Structure 1
Amino acid sequence: FFLIGIPGMKHAHIWVSIPICLMYLLAILGNCTILFFIKTETSLHEPMYYFLSMLAFSDLGLSISSLPTMLRIFLFNVTGISPDACFAQEFFIHGFSAMEASVLFIMSIDRLIAICNPLRYTSILTSARVIKIGLIFAALCIMFVLPFPFILKRLKFCKKSLLSHSYCLHQDVMKQACSDNRVNVIYGLFVALISLLYLVRIAVSYMLILKIVLGITSHKGRLKVLNTCISHICAVFIFYVPIVTLAALHRFAKHVSSVVRVIIADIFLLVPPLMNPIVYSVKSQQIRNRILTKLCEKQG
């Protein structure tokens, strides 16, 4: 297979690689920082921060699984990738994407419990229960994504194929097959529907949260409760907006330039891992204070 950079901008790939490299470095540094502080600071050993560490882990996985091919294309103009490497990459990208969607859903339930039942919050979401939830959802993500490489491997590819993005995706690779790919289409649609259900459930959670917030008489109290959800709402929008936009372009705007589609697809992998640590560091006072304290110690 041959991956694509930005169509019509091959001469500028070396310049494009500079912001991409910076984004990858900042994403990896930011998520590692979040994981480090949550692990080392006992005051952050709470359900919300455990779920945040799961989000950081999935973001880190997304960055690392897409990093090699994107840098090869933009730095060295090496676009070729073997089928096995391509299938492995799409497994990790889809796996970590599914994990991120799962964590965002779990975090919406976490916020709902914290607002509905603040007094019983820590007794409902104990550390052991949080770990079990994380492991169950991780196992489900692997179980759903694991068939992808195997159902792709059974297909026949008759010629060298140019893929539509800078990395391998199941729906992109299966279109290149010259044998019957109905199994791939049906299973891909099944997994896509499950991912869509996560978004629906997140929306339902926030409708319930909004109902509770509207029942609070104090304006200041409403703002205080909503402020605890801002970071998560931002993370949901950062993750889902590129996915929904790309799906809509493929379905309803087929005449749109391929450059737009490639850029949105790259945004899906580059922006969430970069922005999530920034959003949570800015909005979470505890994490922000720990980072500032460490920086002050270093300067001292």
Structure 2
Amino acid sequence: MKLTATQNEILAFWKAVQQEVAEIEPEYTLTKQSTSDPTVEVFTLTFTGLYQETIYGFYLRPKTTQQVPVIIESLGYWTTLEDPFQFIHWPQMGYACLVIDNRAQGGKTLDQAPYQTTSHPEPFGRGILDHHDFYFKRLLADQLRLVDFATTRDEVDQTQIIFRGGSQGGGVVLLLGALLPDVPKWIFADVPSHANIYHRVLEETGSYGVIGRFLAYYPNQRKTIEHELSYFDLQYLADLITCPVSISVASHDPVCPMADFFHAYRKITSPKTLRVYWKKEHEGGGVKQLVREINQINQITQE
């Protein structure tokens, strides 16, 4: 077994996942929520994802008859949707916003289909011995379906789709950009995960620590783990991103180490900017970075 899959093998796998998702009737439903802001419409969104799981999320949009840009948010690890007003700033600024709860990470979206290889209370410990079985396949498939939903909406300006995420979500939106290079106008990723994954397993950083602890008991599975996780490693797909990307990292981040992300960053060939928050840990730039992104989004959507 090769230590890592080739890019062609990785793309063939994700093409098959997209086809697998496409064969499931999505059953999108929007339930309107009351709001005290007459300029905004807020909906609870549900749809059917991989293995017939019901995915829960929010859809917010400004009340207008004109097409609007959309921000597709991807949440960090164990960050849950509590109230749509977490995202009310986007429609108040004239943008639609789409966001879902990640499977099995404390929100309404569950992860009920059984795994064939490994099971574990921590999501990233599930299915780790086969890339077809690994939890991350389900997580990213749900995000691919969310993008599909955005592309069906008449009120969304299809030339103004922006991906945004932090930590786990930062890595996810970059992977989405690699797999869907014609969709996003821009990608914003803060302290992103999912790069140089096998090293992160060995160092037991962030969500990948659970796999490192597994290998402490089963060291004979090292080659299998390294190969299977390569299907999800941003460094092997980063060169497929075609839109501009704006990325922030933190120099002392112990969860998603900056050094691991650089294995992917240096392979991005599209226009890119990197902001380093020195002596910061996983919080990165926090609110300061969000304000920077809002200002930049305002600028690029008006070009």
Q: Which has the higher strand share?
A: 2
Q: TM-score, normalised by structure 1?
A: 0.32
Structure of higher CA gyration radius: 1
Q: TM-score, normalised by structure 2?
A: 0.31
